[in-house]
Amino acid sequence: MSAILETRGLTKAFGAVVAANDLSVSVAPDTVVGLIGGNGAGKTTFLNLVTGYQKPTAGTVTFEGRDITGLAPRRITRLGICRSFQIPQVFDTLTAYENLLVGLGIVSLGRRAFVGSALGDQAPEAVAEEMLQRFRLGEWRDAPASALPEGVRKLLDIAMALAVKPRILLLDEPTSGVSADEKFALMDLVLGAIRADKVTVLFVEHDMDIVRRYTERILAFYDGRIIADGMPDRVLADAEVRRYVTGEPVPGGA
Amino acid sequence: MSAGAPPRLWPRLGLALLVTLAVVPFLPKWAAFLVTLALAKGLVALGLLLLMRTGLVSFGQGLYYGIGAYAAGMGASALELGDAVPLVLLGATAAGLVALLLGLLLARYRTIFFAMLSLAFSMIFYGLLVKTSALGSTDGFNVAARSTFGLPTTSPVGRFGVYGLGALVVFVGAASLDRYLRSHLGRLAPAIRDNELRVEYMGASVRNVVHLHLVLAAVLAGAGGALTALAVGHVDPETTYWTTSGEFVFVAILSGTGSVAAPFVGALLLELLRSFAYEHAPNTWQLVVGASMLAVILFLPEGLWSVFRRRRRAA
Ligand SMILES: Nc1ncnc2c1ncn2[C@@H]1O[C@H](COP(=O)(O)OP(=O)(O)OP(=O)(O)O)[C@@H](O)[C@H]1O
Ligand SMILES: [Mg+2]
């Protein structure tokens, strides 16, 4: 089975800090992968490098056999790699509905530039309404994003990433800022919405119960390196992972 | 902002156009002139509204205003175009083309850097005009159209040609921009102002959208400059001076960005204020204008237009 996403020797240095250190990862299509690691371990940096927000100091990123190293985020989005953010990146003065419409509008303007879209043959307005319902954002439809509770902003941020029909969805701490009893519901909602389409999902998570429940593979980060990679049970039992990642309670992250 | 799309504005703008045209024959000459100037300068402020909605403030719109004015003037003298309509089109096109070129650089900048770079370009153009004796240096030169839509300026109707043309250009400009702002592309303006990174992550090029908006704002400013040149009958480098650019920013902030009609209300108020203050307080009129600006910023931070909106909400 050929990889959908592959990195080779991916390295990013910020001065003396090496946030990504020689990362070589190969992800098979149609899998759900969990990224774990303490604060500052390099998880977000990995997503930034894959989506083109930061240029690697060394190494390559390959998507569906194509070298995408150094491409701008908008080009990578058009190819079908989408992401949500650790701190929700929404349009504060626009309503929830308008936030969704921005992305769907972009897709409808440039249909040919995108490999796939959530539009099908529908109008962006109709799809935006439908997504509001699907993600249970209906009651927030006309509220400016700045007025939404953190958990709702998080959900909106994720829904926005799905204007493009992604091949890979990268989620940066989707459940942080969401109350404990709502975390599973949120993951069910998000994964339920996309897994039918065989979308590959990589998500960063600090809650090991969530990771155990939803992933079939875990990458454990520590100090810019991947210290364990494999089946969830094996990785979570790994001595180094217990010592550096899960051994002590991990704070919620910035 | 609430449920449903806000009502389309063009029927009301169309009504305003008809009213403006209908009152022409009854207006004294000075009043028709004052309204024409307000329409022309309102067009420049309308372009600023688009930029401000995109999160940008330009302190150099005088550049495009001046280019529009000089292009119309040179079209009349050098190209011997006699009719006002092609002259306004020429002014708008020339300004748009210059913005297309300068936008390659300007679209990379934001905030104060964008504002200052726009100012710098307008000052360079001012410097060039002052040094160009073929264009009359600091004195500029006279401009006259022989007709508007083929109606000679000497005929009873043609006398108000530039006034009517100004009203028509404003109608087309404001209605088109209103429509644009409701489109998928136009919606990117507030999105870019709020969060450029996210717009890029949605697959769009922020720089291209900003570049487009620079050109659209310049086209409006160029049309405004051409109309002013035809109304005044004269162009000079003052049109591109930084105080002129500052006045456009003044009008845009005074008016607010709530509606495409706002800049014209603001521009008309400023022209009225100026002409009355000139007459009654010739030495302190800047003081009057400054004080009114202060009052607007303190009491109506979203501009004069918010008065209309508040009243409608209360109703
Ligand atoms: N733009 C930057 N400039 C300088 N240093 C950075 C930058 N971005 C990240 N770093 C550093 O790189 C390291 C990895 O950061 P990263 O954000 O990838 O961690 P993380 O695993 O996502 O942590 P968290 O769980 O807190 O989100 C940290 O030491 C961080 O301080
Ligand atoms: Mg992080």
Give the nearest ligand 1 atom to A206 CA.
25
Residue in B with minimal Cα distance to A105: B184
What residue numbers bound the domain in which B43 lies? 10-240
Residue B115 lies in a domain: yes
**Is B33 within the bounds of a domain?**
yes
**Predicted pLDDT at B164:** 87
**A49: in domain:** yes
Is the minimum distance from the CB of A99 to ligand 1 under 6 angstroms? no
Average pLDDT over all residues of chain A? 90
Average pLDDT over every residue of A160-178 = 91
CA distance B315 to B313: 5
Position B302 in a domain: no
Partners of residue B194 in chain A, C-beta under 8 Å: 90-94
Check if the beta carbon of residue A43 is closer than 8 Å to that of residue A172: yes
Residue B294 phi/psi, 5-degree rounding, is -60, -45
Kindly state whether residue A3 falls inside one of the protein's structural domains: yes
Q: Measured in whole angstroms, how far is the alpha carbon of residue B78 from the centre of its chain?
A: 25
Buried b (16+ CB within 10 A) or exposed e, A155-189: bbbbbbbbbbbbbbbbbbbbbbbbeeeebbebbeb
Residue A12 is assigned to a structural domain of this protein: yes
Contacts 24+ apart (CB under 8 A), B127-130: B129/B66, B129/B70, B129/B237, B129/B240, B130/B237
List, for residues A62-106, the tens digit of each pLDDT value.
999 999 999 999 999 999 999 999 999 999 999 999 999 999 999
B305 pLDDT more than 70: yes
In a domain, B92, yes or no: yes
Query: Is residue A121 in some structural domain?
Result: no
Q: Is the confidence at residue B187, as pLDDT, over 90?
A: yes
Tell me what pLDDT residue B55 has. Answer: 96
Helix (H, G, I), strand (E, B) or coil at A220: strand
pLDDT of residue B4: 45
Q: Please say if the pLDDT value at position B286 is more than 80.
A: no
Query: How much is the mean pLDDT over chain B?
Result: 88
Is A85's C-beta closer than 6 angstroms to any atom of ligand 1? Answer: no
Instruction: Name the minimum distance, in Å, from the CA of A155 to any CA of chain B.
Output: 15
pLDDT score recorded for residue B295:
85
Q: Which two tokens stand for residue B261?
A: 């009609």
Of B3, B185, B198, the CB nearest to A109: B185
Nearest to B203 among A92, A106, A142 (CB): A106
pLDDT bin (cut points 50, 70, 90) of residue B46 is: very high
Per the rule left: phi > 0, alpha: psi between -120 and 50, beta: everything else, A206 is alpha
The number of the ligand 1 atom at minimal distance from the alpha carbon of A45 is 18
Q: Which CATH number do you get for residue A242?
A: 3.40.50.300
- Chain B nearest CA to A176, separation (Å): 19
Is residue A213 assigned to a domain? yes
Is B1's pLDDT higher than 50?
no
CB within 8 Å: A102 and B2: no
- A17 vs B306, which has greater pLDDT? A17
Instruction: Answer whether A78 sits within 8 Å of B2, measured CB to CB.
Output: no
User: What is the domain extent for residue A10?
Assistant: 1-71+199-254
Largest CA distance in chain A: 52
**Confidence class of residue A227 from pLDDT cuts 50, 70 and 90?**
very high
Residue of chain B nearest A85, judged by CA positions: B198
State which of A21, A23, A35, A43 you would mutate to test the pocket of ligand 1, scoring each by most atoms of that ligand within 8 A of its C-beta. A43
Q: Which two tokens stand for residue A109?
A: 């303007």
Q: Does residue B311 lie in a domain region?
A: no
Which-ligand-closest: CA of A219? Answer: 1
Give me the number of domains chain A comprises.
1
The ipTM of this complex is 0.92
Q: Is the pLDDT of residue B166 over 60?
A: yes
- The reply to whether residue A98 touches residue B200, judged by beta carbons under 8 angstroms, is no
Confidence of residue B311 (pLDDT cuts 50, 70, 90): low
B200 to chain A: which residues are within 8 Å by CB?
72-74, 77
Answer for the pair B248, B239: CB distance below 8 angstroms, yes or no. Answer: no
Domain-embedded: residue A150: no
Provide the pLDDT for residue A254.
41
Please tell me the total count of domains within chain B. 1
Q: Is residue A214 part of a domain?
A: yes
Residue A127 lies in a domain: no
Instruction: For ligand 1, atom 30, name the residue with the nearest CA.
Output: A40
